[in-house]
Amino acid sequence: MTVNYPRIGVIGAGAMGRGIAQIAVQAGSEVLLLDSFADAAERGREALAAQWNKLHEKGKIDAPTRDAYVARVKAVDGMQALAGCDLVVEAVVENLEVKRTLFRELEDVVAPTATLVTNTSSLSVTAIAAGLQHPARFAGFHFFNPVPLMKVVEVVAGFKTSPEVCQKLAGYATQMGHSAVQAQDTPGFIVNHAGRGYGTEALRIVGEGVADFATIDRILKDQAGFRLGPFELLDLTALDVSHPVMESIYHQYFEEPRFRPSVITAQRLAAGALGRKTGEGFYRYDNGVMQQTPEAPAPVIEGTPAVWVSPRAARRAELLRLVNTLGAQIDSGSAPAPQSIILVAPLGFDVTTVAAVERLDATRTVGIDMLIDDAATKRRVLATNPATRRDVRDAAHALFARDGKAVSVIRDSGGFVTQRVIGAIVNIAADMCQQRVCTPADLETAVQLGLGYPRGPLAMGNLYGPTNMLEVLFNLQTVYGDPRYRPSPWLRRRGALGLSLLHEEE
């Protein structure tokens, strides 16, 4: 098989340029490495040689392969050396003017048929291409750090990029062992756009005093299967990287309320509590080890009051079975008896609204999140309302912890934690499909490989039910009166018709 681009240039020999050079050489290309900083290209070449040597020592590649790789990468020291390249990948500083100037100079050197690409993560591909003589051969080719391990690349079509160029780049990505996804030139492309829901919504929940960040992390890991909680993730990425991305995408989408950043991260950034790398973020780190405060044990209660379950509760039959299995008596009266715990299980609505609308005694009313099948989660989440009595809260907590399952009790919030965060993720993904940023299938691939979510956001919405997700968002919008929860038309139509969120119109 011949490689799509036998000879490529990589400009910028930093973290990204080196990674791209590595997988390009491994795919069979000859790579010319160029950097404006004296010796940087040569140091990059040496680092690559050392990397392949390490792979050889680990038994991953044999000696002839290692030597062939090393022979295929050269450090060069002037743009003129890139004259014969079929493809030039730019990975220099994230600055529009620097990139524009670089490509204008490059066009005078390479053949008009050579493909030119930028690895930018936040600048507009169209804006970088403006002023080029041949913008059709220019595209975004956005890799993730570390390049050899993050096996996805976004091929970004600018306003004038030709589809053939994108197809050939995608083919090359496959030759490099990566999955290519095709994106329109929109802020954040796919991964950084789809990733807005998780941290942003979790920060809002903390900001409202509903739960602390450690509780939110536990809930999202145990209920929805995320490998890292949103605050662990923010600590890992570091706030000096993630907060500016939040601000940038928010402004690039002209202050779209769904992407509104949080004052919490702005303040922590100002304080220098950046995360793992500074030893202090949302968590403290001692010698790189995260310090967790243990959870308080469930209260111990003598006897359990009977439980009355609202007729409108989500998964009501399942909830009744659960209460019964846990050993509480079910109050099956048409209205709750005077001593019963009143249990509600809303989707999107808060416990307060349900108590008021259903004319329940708020002092005895507690909510439980039943979006997800209880058998499929490792944690139950209860919510009180401002009037809930302490003894009722403790009795409910003790009851739901009786079989040893973890329980979190949070303050009242429409959608508890999981419904809100999953709702935000699904809604943003649905809107990306509505805007044709990419195909639903590419969105799923990009998010799973680029963000490491347990499943793609649309598959998440399908798992919990498109109609349920729509109900969550409609009701959240009512509770908060905020356009950020406005369901995307993509979700509204598919949810209303009970269609898969991956469904594309004929």
The site map against ligand NAI for 135-154 (x = CB under 6 A) is: --------xxx---------
CB closer to ligand NAI out of 92 and 210: 92
Nearer residue to ligand NAI within complex by CB, 68 or 109? 109
Measured CA to CA, the distance from residue 102 to residue 119 in angstroms comes to 13
What contacts 452, CB < 8 A, 6 or more positions away? 227, 228
Q: How far is the CB of 132 from ligand NAI (least distance, A)?
A: 16
x-marked contacts with ligand NAI along 390-419 as a string, rule CB under 6 A: ------------------------------
Span of 1-9, 30-38, 257-265, 354-362 interacting with ligand NAI by CB under 6 A: 30-38
Our finding on whether 46 is near ligand NAI (CB under 6 A) is no
Q: Does 92 interact with ligand NAI (rule: CB under 6 A)? A: yes
CA distance 91 to 415: 42
DSSP per-residue string spanning 115-168: EEEE--SSS-HHHHHTT-S-GGGEEEEE--SSTTTS-EEEEEE-TT--HHHHHH
Query: Which of 71, 83, 93, 441 touches ligand NAI (CB under 6 A)?
Result: 93
Would you say 422 or 451 has its CB closer to ligand NAI?
A: 451
SS (H, E, C) 168-211: HHHHHHHHCCCEEEEEECCCCCCHHHHCHHHHHHHHHHHHCCCC
Residue 17 contacts ligand NAI per CB under 6 A: yes
Based on the residue annotation, tell me whether 334 is a catalytic residue of this protein: no
- Number of residues in contact with ligand NAI, rule: CB under 6 A? 23
Sign of the alpha-carbon dihedral angle for 122, 126, 127, 131: positive
Residue 154 designated active-site: yes
Nearer to ligand NAI, 249 or 502 (CB): 249
Q: Are the CB atoms for 281 and 228 separated by under 8 Å?
A: no
For residue 244, state whether it binds ligand NAI (rule: CB under 6 A).
Answer: no
Number of alpha carbons in the 13 Å side-chain half-sphere of residue 268: 24
Q: What minimum distance in Å lies between the beta carbon of 142 and ligand NAI?
A: 6
Residue nearest to ligand NAI as judged by C-beta position? 14
For residue 19, the minimal CB distance to ligand NAI (Å) is: 8
Of the residues 8, 10, 13, 183, which one makes contact with ligand NAI according to CB under 6 A: 13
Q: Partners of 184 in the beta sheet? A: 157
C-beta atoms surrounding 2 within 10 Å: 7
14 contacts ligand NAI (rule: CB under 6 A)? yes
- Asked if 15 interacts with ligand NAI (CB under 6 A), we say yes
Q: What is the spatial distance between Cα 147 and Cα 144, in angstroms, rounded to a whole number?
A: 5
Residue selected from 9, 12, 450, 461 as contacting ligand NAI according to rule CB under 6 A: 12
- Residue 145 falls in the annotated catalytic set: no
Decide: 344 and 354 in contact? Cβ < 8 Å.
Answer: yes
Task: Tell me which of 55, 98, 330, 499 binds ligand NAI, using CB under 6 A.
Answer: 98
Query: In the bound complex, what is the minimum distance in angstroms from residue 99's beta carbon to ligand NAI?
Result: 7
Q: Cα-atom radius of gyration of the chain, to the nearest Å?
A: 27
Catalytic residue among 4, 29, 119, 121: 121
Smallest distance from ligand NAI to CB 150, Å = 9
Sheet strand arrangement including 7-11: 73-76, 30-34, 7-11, 87-90, 115-118, 138-142, 152-157, 179-184
Q: Is 142 a catalytic residue?
A: yes
Q: What 3-state class would DSSP assign to 290? A: strand
- Of 30, 90, 107, 154, catalytic: 154
Q: Is 188 in the site for ligand NAI (CB under 6 A)?
A: no
Q: Which two tokens stand for residue 168?
A: 């050939």
Q: What number of residues does the chain have?
A: 506
**In this structure, what DSSP letter does residue 297 have?**
P
The single residue among 22, 29, 115, 119 that binds ligand NAI, judged by CB under 6 A, is 119
Interface residue with ligand NAI, options 24, 102, 210, 429 (CB under 6 A): 102
Please give the DSSP secondary-structure letter assigned to residue 488. P
Q: How far is the CB of 105 from ligand NAI (least distance, A)?
A: 9
Find the shortest distance in angstroms from Cβ 17 to ligand NAI: 6
Q: With contact defined as beta carbons under 8 Å apart, do 181 and 445 qualify?
A: yes
Catalytically annotated residues: 121, 142, 154, 192
**By the criterion CB under 6 A, which residues form the site for ligand NAI?**
11-17, 35-37, 40, 91-94, 98, 102, 119-121, 143-145
